Structures are given as C-alpha cells and as structure tokens.
Chain A
Amino acid sequence: MSDLFTADERARFDAGLSELLSHYPADRKRAAMLPVLRLVQSLKGWIPPEAMKLVAEKLETTPERVQEVATFYVMFHTQKPGKYVIDVCTNLSCSLRGAEGMLAYLERRLGTKAGTNGDKYFLRETECLASCGTAPCLQVNEDHHENLDKAKLDKLLETLT
C-alpha cells in the first residue's frame, strides 16, 4: 500500500477524499465510490488492485464492491492504458457522417487496431458521446473533438507526440 502513491499523490488523495466524503451523509461513505475512483485514476492513470483495497478501506466497504464498480463502468481503467486513449464514436449518427471511415483511417495512421491497448495508443470504439448534431466525433484522454474532417483530424494527430 505504501508504494501505491508518492508523497505528493498521497496528499492530493487525502485532501480529495475528505472533500468528497463531506458531500454525503456520514453513514453513507460508500456513495463516494465513483468520485473517489475517478480521483485515483486522475493520480495514477488507472485503478491498480492495491488502490481498490485502499478505497474499500476508506469507504468502509469490501474490495469486491470496489472491483464490481471499477469493472462495470467503461471509463475506469483496470488495466494500465496507453498514453493516448482515443475513443471514437461509431454510433448511428456518427456512422452516417463517416465515423467508420474515420476509425479505419485512424487504424492506418496509428498502426493499431481498434480495441488494442498499446503503450502509446489505446484506440477504441465507443458509444454515443452526445455530438450527434456535430458528428463525427472522438475523445482523446477525455478531451472532446467534434465536427471532424480529415484536415482537422490530421492536425489533432500531430499533437499526439
């Protein structure tokens, strides 16, 4: 447990945790689960197993309960992801405006296959990102990009160094 966090991370975790717990009734610590897991992920880039034990202890629940939540929600990484997580919406509205072609283009440009987690890129198909009127869209490490065309995408890819 001791080497999960650096001293700085530990301080940020403790401060974040006490703020989050103040949002809920004192006997409902477990309610802070999603925000606390998000906090862990913001510090470590993913949610390692030892972090699940720590969260369980702090929220007065079991590691199984924590794991159940961490694996239910797709935004929580229970495996360390590549440096750039690229989520491409291929739902209907985006597909009607070229998302499938965009995904194939990304696979070619990045030399990876959708669904494969690599050191640099983790390219994934994702479900509707509420950009239906501004399709097609994708997210890079949760930053949203919409109304994409080839020129815009190329420009974006240049920033992923």
Chain B
Amino acid sequence: MNVEKVVTRNWGKPGQNTLQGYKQGGGYAQLKKALELTPDAVVAEVKKSNLRGRGGAGFPTGLKWSFVPKDNPKPKYLAINADESEPGTAKDRFILENDPHSLLEGIGIACWALGAHTCYIYARGEFKYPSAVLDKAIAEAYRDGIFGKKLMGKDGFALDVYQVRGAGAYICGEETALLESLEGKKGWPRLKPPFPAVVGLFGCPTVVNNVETIASLPPIFEKGAEWFAKLGAEKSGGTRLVTLSGAVKRPGTYEVAMHTSIKDLIFDAEYGQGLPNGRKVKAVIPGGSSAPVLTADEIDVKLEFDAFKPLQSMAGSGGVIVLDDSTCAVRSLWRVARFYAEESCGQCTPCREGQPWMARLLRKIEEGRGETKDLETLMGVAKSIAPWPPIGLGNTICALGDAGALPVQSFVQKFKSEFEQHIAQHRCPYGDKPWGHYGDFA
C-alpha cells in the first residue's frame, strides 16, 4: 500500500505549521508559478487534474470554478468550507493543524483563477486549536506580504483572507447555509438555483470549496495536472484523506490511494489492521454517517468517488465507520437518527418533523416497545423525506433531509430481520448495557 503522499506530505515535519518551515520545503513557489499563468490557464490545469470536491459531493473543482460568470461586474468571493461536522469525518482539522500554509497557498491560487479578492474561511466553532493555528498562519502570510494589497507581490491584485468561526451547527457545512451564516444569519439553506457561483455571498458570485480540495492545489502545480490525474483512479484525481473509526485495531486518519478498497483500509497493516477481539465486520458506513450502509459482502469497493454508484451509496466525506458483529444495527441507526433530528435546521417540514419522528420510532424499537406497524411507519417517513434508492430524490431544500433518510432506509432494508427480531422479542437481542467494548469506562 505504498501511496504517494499529497495532502499529508508535510505532516509531522517539525515547524511545518509555520511559514518558515513551509517555505523551507519550497512553500509558496507554486502560487508564484500560478500567478505567471493566466487565470484561464489555471482553471484549465485544475480541470485537467481531475480534482474533485472533497467535502462529500465529489463535484469536479475546475468545472465548478468555470460556472462563475466572467461578465458579472460584482466582486467575486471564495469561501472555504472548514465546517467539518459529518459524523465519522475528521480530516480537514488535521490539515489546519499540521499544514495550514498549504491551504493558504491553495487559496492564493484559487483566488487568482477566480478573480476573487476576498476569501472567508468558515471554520467549525468547536475547532479552537485548529483555528488558532490557522489564525497564526494567516497573520504570518500578511506579514510576509503574501496576502494584502499585492498577492505575492503581484501588482494590481489584492487578496484579503479572513477566518470566521462558526458556532455549532452541522447545517452550516451545507454551502448555502454556510453563506447565510457568513452573512450573519442562522444557517438556513437557500433554494438552488441560482447556484452560489452566480448568486452567492452578499448576492455576488461565490465559489465554496472544501479545505482538502484547496490544499491539494500546491502539489498539483508542483508536479503537474497529469501526475495528479494519473495518481487517481478513473475520473477522480489524486489521493483521498479518509477517517477510519469504530471497530478496528488502529483507527485514525489516513491518506490512501483512490483505488484502495474499504476492505483494504480496514485490514491492511498500514491502516486499520483488522478488528480487535476476533470480531467480524457486520456493516460499514462508508462516507460519513449519511452514506447508505454497506454489508460485509459489499466492502470490496474502491474509495474512488464513482465506485459507490452501483451500491447506491457514496464515498462522501471519507468517514468510514466499522460496526462489528456484536453491535446492534437498530441501536447504531438510532444514534445516527438522533444526530439528524438534532441538527435539522427546521426550515422544511418533512425534515423538521420527520427526523425526530424516525429517532422516536427507532428508540421505541430498540427499547423493546416496537410494534410491527412501526417499521412501516419508519420507512414511510423516510421515503417522504427522500426515497432511496437512488440517491438524490430528496423533497427538502438541502441534502440534510436525504442525509437522515438514507441511513434509515438502507439499514432497514439490509438488516430487516434484526429490526423484526427486536419487535418480536420485545427487547434488544444484544442487551441494553452501554456500548463500547473498546473503552474501559463501563
């Protein structure tokens, strides 16, 4: 599993989160190089690299940039989505902590390509330490004359970069809710179209990109778009940062090749090293808790973005959660459902009413009070929010509706007998003791 390191290339090197350390490794040379190209040539290079959005949707980055209208006289903005909050996902915070200047150099490249003179980095409110590292890096870049009136000394091209910290709302990771929050409002997603590339922050054209996406730009310009495309698989360029959690010997955040399978990630000596205590894989949530669950038979799938389509699931934000054969499917799903019930923003009726309803029904079933009709009701509520499969048929303004409805439908479909067992036996077959065979608090 020898994988060329891209976004983690600098992690663990001493002083790497300072400007001096970053520059010693050749940092900011790629921004300089990009500034010698025309903005159109930069966009073309990014398109050629097959870089795709690492926030969850996997949308081609260069294509997204090209949606910004050229003839619009309004200012253009870049917003960086550092509001990492999808359960199972812990990757962007490590970029901020270990290598903030890679993100900042990428921001310089992206803003030059887009003609944007202001960038806001919207970081999760809970990221106290990562935000402190980032603030320090931004200040260093200003002091060094990288940001400010002349981007990297480029005459006539100013760039200001500001960090804005959120305040604890999962919904603000949705790009239009993020823009509302940046405008000082509660995070209620906007109807699309118009898309942010046309009408975004303050009504102006805005591109919203994930941290990992933008931090990939300096290596792309260092080694070339073709190198990056070739490093990937199919139409997904580069590598992927994934977070492995749950029932594995060695959980953590790993940079893997696009052609690495979920199975390899769990069992390979360099990554998960298999399950502890002789347990077997029961199920895997492959791309953050909103991704439809996979059974043990379905995990021989590449982490590349398009590979999940035949399975009606998604690579999402790279959060791989492993459930072992001693873990109750109903209880796992109830926990996931509670999250979406808690985080529904309240704007659309199917989601606002449906997510808590599903959580209540799952609790009832898990606690042994379930009736046969509850399973039907549960599936009915889920379908009214977003029927599955396929992905993408949601009835709500944003994808949070789908995010809560997809796990319910996939869990019930794939582990139906377990739900029925709970109802028939009036109890959880796995018992009601607290979870966590891997913790020592019980």
**Interfacial residues, chain A to chain B (CB-CB below 8 A):** 23, 25, 28, 30-35, 37-38, 59, 61, 65, 68-69, 72-76, 87, 90-93, 95-102, 104-105, 127-136, 139, 142-144, 149-150, 153
Q: Which of A31, A99, A101, A128 has the most CB of B within 10 A?
A: A128
Given A93-B245, A93-B321, A127-B339, A34-B85 contact (CB < 8 Å) = no
| Residue in A31, A33, A128 whose CB lies within 8 Å of B88 | A128
- Establish whether residues B165 and A38, one from each chain, have CB atoms under 8 Å apart when the complex forms: yes
Contacts of B89 in A (CB 8 A): 128, 130, 132
| Residue in B182, B252, B285, B339 whose CB lies within 8 Å of A133 | B252
List B residues 288-303 near A (Cβ within 8 Å). Answer: 289
5 nearest A-B pairs in the assembled complex, by CB-CB distance: A98-B439, A98-B436, A33-B184, A101-B441, A73-B167
Rounded to whole angstroms, the CA-CA distance of A33 and B243 in the bound complex is: 33
Chain B window 160-171, contacts with chain A (Cβ cutoff 8 Å), 1 for yes, 0 for no: 101011111110
Q: Is B86 an interface residue (CB 8 A)?
A: yes
- Establish whether residues A98 and B440, one from each chain, have CB atoms under 8 Å apart when the complex forms: yes
- Establish whether residues B90 and A133, one from each chain, have CB atoms under 8 Å apart when the complex forms: yes
Q: Count chain B residues whose beta carbon lies closer than 8 angstroms to a beta carbon of A.
A: 60
The interface stretch among B22-30, B120-128, B191-199, B351-359 is B120-128
Contacts of B125 in A (CB 8 A): 38, 73, 75
- Establish whether residues A34 and B246, one from each chain, have CB atoms under 8 Å apart when the complex forms: no
Rounded to whole angstroms, the CA-CA distance of A149 and B186 in the bound complex is: 36
Given A76-B167, A133-B244, A34-B434 contact (CB < 8 Å) = no
Rounded to whole angstroms, the CA-CA distance of A129 and B339 in the bound complex is: 12
Q: Is B430 an interface residue (CB 8 A)?
A: no
| Residue in B87, B182, B247 whose CB lies within 8 Å of A128 | B87
Given A72-B187, A95-B435, A37-B167 contact (CB < 8 Å) = yes
Contacts of A104 in B (CB 8 A): 434, 441
Contacts of B336 in A (CB 8 A): 92
- Establish whether residues A101 and B438, one from each chain, have CB atoms under 8 Å apart when the complex forms: no
- Establish whether residues A129 and B436, one from each chain, have CB atoms under 8 Å apart when the complex forms: no
Q: Is B304 an interface residue (CB 8 A)?
A: no
